[in-house]
Amino acid sequence: MSTTSSVPDAHEGARNDQAPAPAPRGPVARPGSRLLHRWVWLRLSLLLSAPLAWMVLIYVVALAALLITSLWSVDSLSSEIDRTWTLDNFRTLIENEVYRNVTVRTVGVALAVTVIDVAIALPIAFYMAKVASPRARRMLVVAVLTPLWASYLVKVFSWRVVLSEGGLAEWSGLGSPGYGLTAVVITQAYIWLPYVILPIFAALERVPDSLLEAAGDLGAPTSMVVRSIVMPLLVPGIVAGAIFSFSLTLGDYITVNIVGGANQMLGNLVFVNAGAANNLPLAAAIAMIPIVVMLVLLTAIRRTGALENI
Amino acid sequence: MKTPFRRGRVAVACLSLLSVSVLAACGSGDDDKKTEAVEELGDTEGQVSILAWPGYVEDGSNDPNVDWVSAFEEKTGCEVTSKVYGTSDEALNLAKSGEYDVIAASGDLSLRLIASDEAQEINTDLVPNYANVYDFLKDTEWNSVDGKNYGVPHGYGANLLMYNTKNFDSPHTSWGAVFETSELEKNKGKVTAYDSPIYIADAALYLMKTQPDLGIENPYALDQDQLDAAVELLKTQREYVGEYWSDYLKEIQAFETGDSVVGTTWQVIKNNVKNKDVEVTLPTEGATAWNDTWMLSSQSENPNCAYAWMDYILSPEANAQATEYFGEAPNSPQACEQTTDPKHCDTFHAGDEAYAEQLWFWRTPVKECLDGRTDVECTDYAQWTQAWTEIKG
Amino acid sequence: MTLSSTARRTLAVLTAAVLVLIYLPLLVVVLNSVNPNQSMTWPIEGVTFEWWRRAADSAGVREALATSLQVAAIATGIALVLGTLLALALQRYSFFGKHSVNLLVILPIALPGVVTGIALNNGFRGILGIDLSLWTIVIAHATFCIVTVFNNVQARLRRMGTSLEEASADLGAGVFTTFRLVTLPQLRSALLAGGMLAFALSFDEIIVTTFTAGGGANTLPIWILNNMFRPNQAPVVNVVAVVLILFSIVPVWLAQRLSSDVEAAR
């Protein structure tokens, strides 16, 4: 396949298609189109209605129902849900030390994963976007994307092999931390790394080379260029990647089962309670913890204005 | 909000049931659960959906050589769809959806299904192959309630003690290996245990034998004090546990590499561990065990095919195939004659009553004490689940 | 900004090191797909093609793969339509509640999978009273895939500006004509990138899927989950993973090529 011919230039395509059409089409446009042109709100509501209906009817309703469920309880005899309002589930969460510990542990792991991923992704994404030749860049993007297709479970299990006693990590002389929280952090950082590299790479790609060159020509030192030109354009990409890795780690319960030793995370508690004795109300209450964590985080980020640019 | 849909489903259920003229009493309001046993069978419905442990319902799609479903489909015309589950808790949720006609339930699930009216009483006369089953598996606490039979036994196996001989001076004969601090100290971080609230019973069994003062008569009937003692024991053990296991690939691998050296196991795991130093034993205290039960959903829309399946999977050929593939003891002497490995039943102590007597088969802890005590209230599975969360910390 | 050659070299070495790290676990998978030992080990104990033969014979894998492709394709299709509509609305108009809508789109991916999973499971079964099936997976996947399309399209719309669209309107083209002939062609590579990511996300999703899959609907990750815990099946799973990696290189490469061609031409 040749590099140039198969996909027509977007602009050219548009122009070619339009060429045979008579230029002044204003008055001939169909009535529906004219109506839409005039009524902005109509255009807007047509655009918004389908996606909003989808999100609200499916997702918001489900989340609201979950919140309500967390205020119910389970009758221990019939194991049916008892629909009288109670704060018992939340009381359990507050009074039992174990939920606090697990929350701290989970948030800690998610933070560690996020920091590691961003730290690794930054130089890589920079190299891909600004240093590598276009050809090498394409190869690198493919190289980063390809592991996404090897199943998540298979990758986690292969880390189990790598970190086991006498496994690849020890065998190579690096030593292994054994199964535990460190292993969870390593594995999760590995799994979500492509999801962090990609948005940062995309953000960097958008930084025009000319801008950097101009700054350089005007005598700005590299550190200053990075701080005042690259970073502001980069922050949205970093935020997007960080949200991805943080939230994906926050809800994971499979990795910790496979390489986490005897530890449990919030995801495990939700999973166990949604199943065990069918205590959906308690599971829903526990699920409120990551929801609150994420909402606080998202609001904080929105204050900085980074969210709009994701 | 819920009722219109429910009614709709009831209507469908009624129609399909009427058409096979099994039931007349269907108009009893909006409860579509039927818990009484049927008197006689009608024509098969053409399909049956089964919920089971991995490896119980194999149709050759995973391995063409492992297939006992196709023969059933040919014989009865009942098309099988199946879903597998990873833990009993997951199965409970799936069963409640009412999408499954037959459920293979372990003892930690069966009573919960019966209590929530998800199971239908079984008329064992309609399951001819039931006659073959070992007597000690019939009419037990985990498949019958108040003299009513809610399922037919599949296969069984014990939760044994597995250890790596390299880490021990002498062969082990006691659960003390995983419960006594002096023993645990030697293998800190390399101890493993089964990851489920039902594992609390293992600790209770050990306490039953070592601390008679606690008065434990049945490891599945614990009052609050007894549960607290078991939880205490497990919290101590937690300090030494490297990891908990729930799927057997994980444990096989851990014992092969040496990440785990002592802990609970199933015989089939031992058979798959290639490490020659790994030994397995039934400790002197006895052990907990499981015996899975084929149960019929009270919401079943295909009861005739469900009965056909239960009879089929109890037949010596099918039972031998399924239990040998999964790695557990078959449920009848006839099945033992059909196994491809002639020593299979010896390895798994099938039919060995003296062996079976030392086993405490899984059953679901409920408020009403299973050991017959009426002066106290026992702890139920929800409390065990809560306790297990705290043990893991 | 001119980087010193040392800095360039350091970056190159770092990148290479991370790539090695990314591919090492995959190497373990590849090697274990020919490992005679049926639990994954290191180092491997020999070479056998038994697992490859078994994988080729496995009808379960093929069915699960077909299911996964089907789910991912439909979910991506829905996400493409809804994500583009939303991006157009949010980027081209300002209205009350815009920020909330923005947040709402991000929510399904920002909230942990296990939360989305039990919420949807409870919603489908408890509120709507529908049985879980293939379609419930599709709906769940589409819900969290919208955001990837939305992000890509929104970023492109912002860079595009509105001058071309305005010119088109000034020349008399109707709203639909402008969209079809001016906006859409410029969005093509963004749609491709967003769609690819959505497809990948759906294809490998396991947590939300566990909660929303009906009895007969086995996606590939569910098949893998079930088979990893079955005797003698783990190596077959490795084979499947290796095959997936090999096959994925083609679409990833193609997509990358297509989008960079468009990129280069602009």
Across the B:C interface, residue pairs with CB atoms under 8 Å apart total: 78
Task: Return the pLDDT at B20.
Answer: 34
What mean pLDDT do residues B9-32 have? 38
Task: Return the pLDDT at B9.
Answer: 41
In angstroms, the separation between the Cα of residue B58 and the nearest Cα of chain C is: 10
- Which positions in chain A touch B259 (Cβ < 8 Å)? 164-165, 178-179
Task: Return the pLDDT at B379.
Answer: 92
Task: Return the pLDDT at A308.
Answer: 54
Lowest-confidence segment of A43-57, A86-100, B3-17, B211-225 by average pLDDT: B3-17
Inspect the interface and report whether the beta carbons of B54 and C228 lie closer than 8 Å: no
Q: Can you give the pLDDT of all 266 residues of chain C as single tens digits?
A: 566 788 888 999 999 999 998 998 888 888 888 888 777 777 788 888 888 888 888 888 888 999 999 999 999 999 999 999 999 998 888 888 888 888 888 888 888 888 999 999 888 887 888 878 889 999 999 999 998 899 888 888 887 777 787 888 788 777 788 888 888 888 888 888 889 889 988 998 988 998 888 766 789 998 888 777 665 677 888 888 888 888 877 777 777 676 655 444 43
B247 contact partners, CB below 8 Å, separation of at least 6 = B86, C228, C229
- Which positions in chain B touch C63 (Cβ < 8 Å)? 61
Please name the chains neighbouring C, where neighbouring means 3+ C-beta pairs under 8 angstroms.
A, B
Q: Is residue A165 part of a domain?
A: yes
Instruction: Tell me the pLDDT tens digit for each residue of A232-267.
Output: 888 888 988 898 899 989 988 989 999 998 899 999
Q: Which range, A116-120, B44-48, B371-375, C144-148, has the best average confidence (pLDDT)?
A: A116-120
Q: Is residue A11 part of a domain?
A: no
What mean pLDDT do residues A144-152 have? 84
Band of pLDDT at residue A20, cut at 50, 70 and 90: very low
A260 touches chain B (CB under 8 A): yes
CA distance A123 to A84: 54
Inspect the interface and report whether the beta carbons of C175 and A9 lie closer than 8 Å: no
User: What is the 3-state composition of chain A as percent helix, strand, coil, each rounded to the nearest 5?
Assistant: 75, 0, 25
Query: What does pTM read for this prediction?
Result: 0.83
Q: Is residue A60 part of a domain?
A: no
CB-nearest to A247 from C111, C127, C242 is: C111
Q: Is residue A265 part of a domain?
A: yes
Band of pLDDT at residue A37, cut at 50, 70 and 90: low
C-alpha distances (whole Å) from C207 to each of A255, A270, C100 are 11, 12, 26
CA distance A121 to A190: 11
Across the A:C interface, residue pairs with CB atoms under 8 Å apart total: 342
The answer to whether A216 touches C79, Cβ cutoff 8 Å, is: no
Number of domains in chain A: 1
Instruction: Tell me the pLDDT tens digit for each residue of B280-314.
Output: 999 999 999 989 999 999 999 999 999 999 999 99
Q: Could you give the ipTM of this predicted complex?
A: 0.85
Q: Which residue of A has its CA nearest to C136?
A: A58
Inspect the interface and report whether the beta carbons of C228 and B247 lie closer than 8 Å: yes
Q: Is the pLDDT of residue B7 over 60?
A: no
Q: Is the pLDDT of residue A189 over 50?
A: yes
In angstroms, the separation between the Cα of residue A103 and the nearest Cα of chain B is: 11
Q: Is residue A210 part of a domain?
A: yes
Q: Is the pLDDT of residue A77 over 70?
A: no
Band of pLDDT at residue A30, cut at 50, 70 and 90: low
> Cis ω on the peptide bond leading into residue A51 (within 30° of 0)?
no
In angstroms, the separation between the Cα of residue B111 and the nearest Cα of chain C is: 23
Range of the domain at A199: 97-309
- Which positions in chain B touch A74 (Cβ < 8 Å)? 382
Looking at domain B33-155+292-351, its CATH superfamily turns out to be Periplasmic binding protein-like II (3.40.190.10)
Helix (H) or strand (E) holding B45: none
Q: Is the pLDDT of residue B385 over 80?
A: yes
A65 touches chain B (CB under 8 A): no
Tokens of C111: 């909230």
Residues in chain B: 393
Across the A:B interface, residue pairs with CB atoms under 8 Å apart total: 85
The better pLDDT of the pair B190, C125 is held by: B190
Nearest alpha-carbon partner for B262 in B246, B289, B240: B240
CA distance C11 to C21: 15
CA angle, corner C250, sides to C79 and A138, nearest 5?
85
Inspect the interface and report whether the beta carbons of B242 and A179 lie closer than 8 Å: yes
Q: Which residue of B has its CA nearest to C63?
A: B61
C-alpha distances (whole Å) from A216 to each of A225, C2, C6, C262 are 8, 7, 18, 29
CA angle, corner A28, sides to A25 and A30, nearest 5?
115
A64 contact partners, CB below 8 Å, separation of at least 6 = none
Q: Is the pLDDT of residue B320 over 90?
A: yes
Inspect the interface and report whether the beta carbons of A101 and B393 lie closer than 8 Å: yes
Q: Is residue A14 part of a domain?
A: no
The answer to whether B221 touches B228, Cβ cutoff 8 Å, is: no
Inspect the interface and report whether the beta carbons of B258 and A165 lie closer than 8 Å: yes
Residues of chain B with CATH 3.40.190.10: 33-155+292-351, 160-265+363-392
In angstroms, the separation between the Cα of residue A26 and the nearest Cα of chain C is: 4
- Which positions in chain A touch C93 (Cβ < 8 Å)? 40, 43-44, 47
- Which positions in chain A touch B246 (Cβ < 8 Å)? 257
What mean pLDDT do residues A148-177 have? 84
Band of pLDDT at residue B213, cut at 50, 70 and 90: very high
Domain annotation for chain C: domains and CATH numbers: 59-265 (1.10.3720.10)
Band of pLDDT at residue A135, cut at 50, 70 and 90: confident
Give the domain B160-265+363-392 fold. D-Maltodextrin-Binding Protein; domain 2 (3.40.190)
Q: How many CA atoms lie within 13 A of C229 on its CB side?
A: 19
The better pLDDT of the pair C181, B130 is held by: B130
Q: Is residue A167 part of a domain?
A: yes
Residue with token string 């809560």: B386
Mean pLDDT in chain B? 86
Please name the chains neighbouring A, where neighbouring means 3+ C-beta pairs under 8 angstroms.
B, C
- CATH number at A276 reads 1.10.3720.10
DSSP H stretches of helix in B54-199 = 69-76, 88-96, 107-115, 176-179, 181-185
Please name the chains neighbouring B, where neighbouring means 3+ C-beta pairs under 8 angstroms.
A, C
CB-nearest to A25 from C103, C173, C221 is: C173
CA distance C73 to C60: 20
Q: Is residue A203 part of a domain?
A: yes
The pairs formed by A44-49 with CB atoms below 8 angstroms and a separation of 24 or more are: A44/C89, A44/C93, A44/C95, A47/C85, A47/C86, A47/C88, A47/C89, A47/C93, A48/C85, A48/C86, A48/C89, A48/C101
What mean pLDDT do residues A143-148 have? 85
In angstroms, the separation between the Cα of residue C96 and the nearest Cα of chain B is: 32
Task: Return the pLDDT at B78.
Answer: 93
Q: What percent of chain B has pLDDT over 90?
A: 52
Inspect the interface and report whether the beta carbons of A37 and C112 lie closer than 8 Å: no
Q: What is the residue type of C116?
A: T
In angstroms, the separation between the Cα of residue A95 and the nearest Cα of chain C is: 22
Inspect the interface and report whether the beta carbons of C41 and B54 lie closer than 8 Å: no
